[in-house]
Structures are given as C-alpha cells and as structure tokens.
Structure 1
C-alpha cells in the first residue's frame, strides 16, 4: 500500500469516528431523531470525495453493525440497521458517494458543495423513509410525516454548514498536502 492510500484510509477512519461522535448530538423525535450524523456525512463527503467519503461511511456502518455504540443514542448492533432508522444509515453511504461525485465532476466550491449536500440530504431522506415505511408498517403519508418533513429545514441548514466547513477544511488539508486534490477551487 502506498503512502497516499494509507493516509486516505486513516482519514476514512477519522471521519468514521467523527460521524459516531456527531451521532450523539441529537434532538429526540417520536420515530427518527434529528442528529448530527447527517452533518458529519456532508462534511466527510465534501472533504474526502466520493470513494473515500463512501468508504468512511461504510466503516461507520460496519462499526455500528458489530455493536460499537456509534449510532444515535449510543446504540449499535445489526438490529439498528434493520430497524426503522437503518435506511438512513444505508442512505449515508450512497449520499456520501453522490455528494463527493458531484463535487469531483464540478468544482469544490461552497455553492457547488451546497448543491451536492442538498442532493445527499434528499438521498438520505428517501432511503431512510422507504425503510421506515416498511419496517414501522406506516402509510406513505405517515412515513413522510415522520421521516422527511421534520428534517427539511434542519437538513438545509446542515447542508450549508457541511458545505462551508467541508470546503474550508478541504482547502487547508490540500494546502498542507494531507490530501490530494485534482479539482481545487481558487
């Protein structure tokens, strides 16, 4: 393994840990809490890009699946992944990939990151709500009321914060030569 790949794997582990920490920041709601996980997902994807961002979230999900209490409310275990909120966790992986991909195909700027993170938020909400509907045996309107509507405004705020923090930190990591960047905004 070359030095750059090893460095990126270490970054993936760091961002997986950060996601676990952010997951503990939560506002309880009846079925799905508002948590810091999605903010961490956006920051991760904005900084690491598609492949490493998704890999970091795969590591996060795997840690939780084997019982490490990294999910919201200090929970862990495979039962969380197959439970009402598991679709959101799977959605994090897909969202991170597409958020990073959009930035890689365009430019790493705050406005593009806002678009990419909004797309990521929508992906997470869709996948999370689909699983919530079936696992909790809800109708579509109930699933939307529990799994989408409460998260739209907060999600847009988190998308902005992830964009601003992510682009700012990414620029500094590139300047410090801690990550490579074929597509840096000036």
Structure 2
C-alpha cells in the first residue's frame, strides 16, 4: 500500500473514532457538575486500537468539531464555552490520555493486561486535566475539586478501562488481520 493510501486510511480511522466519541458522549449519567459519560470509553478504545498518534489526532478532531459549535460533547453541547468551562479540562485530557495510553501500548505489547494498565493511566491523565480546570474555573478548594471531579469517576472509570481494553484489543487484532490499520513491527512479526 502506498503512502497516500496509508495517510487516507489514517485520516478515515481518526474521523471514525472522533465520531464514535461524539456518539458515546451522549450516553451519560448526570451529576451536579460533570456528568459521567461514554466519552472516556471511546478515548480508551481509540487509543487501544489506533495507538498514540492516531488516537490523539482523533481526540483533537473531536475537540475541534465540538469547539466550533457542533453538539458533540456530553448532553449534545458544543462551542468554545464548553472547552473553557468546568468540563473543558476533561476534553483536553482526552487528547493527552489517548496519546499516553497508545504510547504505553506501543512501548510494551498490545495485550489486554497491558491495555488495562495503559487505560487506567489514561484515566488518571484525564482526571488530572479535568480536575485542574474544574478547580480553576470554579475557584474550588482542592478537596471540593477532587470530590466533584475525581471520586465519582473512579469505579466507573475502572470499568470503562477494562471494557476499552477488551474491546480495543479484540477489534485491533481483527482490523490488523483485515489490513485496515497499520500495526507496529512487534505485532506483525
């Protein structure tokens, strides 16, 4: 496959996962400040399947289309006010989390246990970004920021990390077999 087709396939994959993130964002459990949503599940699946670079690009696309006003964020919201609001740090955290999760897998192995570890690290990255912005925007004390921005997400985050790992590795293996994504040399050797 030539370089042009590879780049096109990568762009299509990133676009698909930005769309999947937008869809899963609408699966939400409302909480007082930040809802629990399917976004982080989508981030983990994207990073596990696509790896660091493409996973992060997919999340940049997601943040960009939401940032210009398309209603792709949780609760069918969108616009720059969301990115600079209390929940915006989580969205920026998705980019970093996708990159870190994918990088861990690229440096180790694409297995379910490693994917679980990588997705848990990605969850922590997202929570750090999100809680920091939540604290700053709402001028909260650290305890209040942690109570609103971390604690409610730990158990469900671990469940989503497991699901992202299992789904991501299973789908990644099938996509590699069908030659729909490009794996690293350790996987294909």
**What TM-score, normalized to structure 2?**
0.97
Distance, in Å, in 2 between the alignment partners of 1:179 and 1:65 is: 28
The DSSP-based 3-state class of the residue aligned with 2:51 is helix
Q: 1:80-108 deviations in whole A, cap 9, x for unaligned?
A: 00000000000000000000000000000
Deviation at 1:137, TM superposition (A): 1.2
Deviation at 1:184, TM superposition (A): 2.3
The DSSP-based 3-state class of the residue aligned with 1:64 is helix
For 1:138, the equivalent position in structure 2 comes to 140
The DSSP-based 3-state class of the residue aligned with 1:184 is helix
The DSSP-based 3-state class of the residue aligned with 1:152 is helix
User: Match for 1:164 among 151, 163, 166?
Assistant: 166
Distance, in Å, in 2 between the alignment partners of 1:60 and 1:7 is: 17
Distance, in Å, in 1 between the alignment partners of 2:46 and 2:183 is: 15
Unaligned 5+ residue runs, structure 2? none
User: Match for 1:184 among 161, 172, 187?
Assistant: 187
The DSSP-based 3-state class of the residue aligned with 2:48 is helix
Distance, in Å, in 1 between the alignment partners of 2:91 and 2:118 is: 18
Q: 1:53-96 deviations in whole A, cap 9, x for unaligned?
A: 00000000000000000000000000000000000000000000
Distance, in Å, in 1 between the alignment partners of 2:136 and 2:169 is: 37
For 1:90, the equivalent position in structure 2 comes to 92
Distance, in Å, in 2 between the alignment partners of 1:15 and 1:133 is: 29
Query: Is it true that 1:110 corresponds to 2:112 in the alignment?
Result: yes
For 1:5, the equivalent position in structure 2 comes to 7
Distance, in Å, in 2 between the alignment partners of 1:185 and 1:9 is: 22
- The runs of at least 4 aligned residues of structure 1 exceeding 4 Å deviation read none
Equivalent residue pairs, number = 186
User: Match for 1:54 among 56, 75, 78?
Assistant: 56
Task: Compute the RMSD of aligned alpha carbons.
Answer: 1.1
Distance, in Å, in 2 between the alignment partners of 1:184 and 1:53 is: 18
For 2:78, the equivalent position in structure 1 comes to 76
Deviation at 1:185, TM superposition (A): 8.3
Query: Is it true that 1:174 corresponds to 2:172 in the alignment?
Result: no
Distance, in Å, in 2 between the alignment partners of 1:184 and 1:34 is: 34
Residues 46, 166 of structure 1: 8 Å contact kept:
yes
**What TM-score, normalized to structure 1?**
0.98
Distance, in Å, in 1 between the alignment partners of 2:100 and 2:137 is: 25
